[in-house]
Amino acid sequence: EPEVTQTPSHQVTQMGQEVILRCVPISNHLYFYWYRQILGQKVEFLVSFYNNEISEKSEIFDDQFSVERPDGSNFTLKIRSTKLEDSAMYFCASPRTSGGRQQETQYFGPGTRLLVL
Amino acid sequence: RKEVEQDPGPFNVPEGATVAFNCTYSNSASQSFFWYRQDCRKEPKLLMSVYSSGNEDGRFTAQLNRASQYISLLIRDSKLSDSATYLCVVTPHGSSNTGKLIFGQGTTLQVKP
C-alpha cells in the first residue's frame, strides 16, 4: 500500500501560537486532502488541494488555516493562532491514483496529534 | 439530519459471531461508498468499497441500497483482531466535488474471547 507520511506525530502548543503540520503525500499525485478528528468525534473534511491551490474547503477551514506546497513533495497545514478547540488529530490523505478525485478512495497518513493548552 | 449516520455501538460479540453494521446517508446523489476501519488513535484504513451489486472480501460483505440510501457491512466468524471502529464513508456528487470523503461517526466493535 502506498505510504503517506506526516510529521510531527505529536505537537503540544500554547493557545495563540502558530503550528505547522507537515505531510508527504504519495508522489506524483495532484490531489491532497486534510481532515481532522477531535477526540471521540467523527473524521471531518478540512480542505482539498489541487495543482497548488485550494479546490474546496469546509466551514472549519477559516482564516486561521492555510495550506501550502512549499516544494515538490511536502504539503503543509498551518494554523496561525491556535485555539483550545483546535486540539485534534490532523490527517493528510492522498487519493488511490495519481489522477484520482471523485470515486476514489484515499490513503491516510498516520496523523499529527495536536494539543493546544 | 446528519450526512452519514451510524449506530455508534459498541457492539460486543464473542469470537466466531456474525455481526452487521448499518449506515444511512442523506444525499441521494452521493456517488461512492466505502467502509473504513479505524483502530484506537490510528488513521482510517480502507476496508472495502461498496457497490450496488454487493461485494464480498473474505469474511466481509458490503451491500448498498441506493433506493433506501442504506449501506451495510457484515462480518462473519469474528476474530479478536476485528475489534475496531468501522467508519461508513461516502463521496458527494456534483461538478464541484473534489473527492472529499464524508465520514459517519463510526460503529465500535469489540470481539471477546
pLDDT in tens, B79-105: 999 999 999 999 887 655 678 899 999
Q: How far apart are CA A34 and CA A67, in angstroms?
A: 9
Q: What is the pLDDT of residue A1?
A: 67
> What would the grid cell of residue B87 be?
467508519
Chain A residue numbers touching B98 (CB-CB < 8 A): 31, 48, 50, 55-56, 101
> What would the grid cell of residue A11 be?
505537537
- A102–B32 C-beta distance less than 8 A: yes
- For residue B34, the cross-strand partners are B49, B89
Per-residue pLDDT band for B52 (boundaries 50, 70, 90) equals confident
- Single out the residue of B84, B20, B96 nearest to residue B47, CA to CA: B84
User: Contact at 8 Å (CB) between B27 and B33?
Assistant: no
User: Contact at 8 Å (CB) between B82 and B75?
Assistant: yes
Tell which A residues from 69 to 108 touch B, by Cβ distance under 8 Å.
89, 91, 93, 95, 100-108
- Single out the residue of B31, B7, B8, B21 nearest to residue B102, CA to CA: B31
B16: left (phi over 0), alpha (psi -120 to 50) or beta: left
Q: How far apart are CA A87 and CA A67, in angstroms?
A: 18
Q: What is the pLDDT of residue A102?
A: 45
pLDDT tens-digit profile, chain A (117 residues): 668 999 999 999 999 999 999 998 877 777 889 999 999 999 999 999 887 889 899 999 999 999 998 887 789 999 999 999 999 999 999 887 655 454 477 889 999 999 999
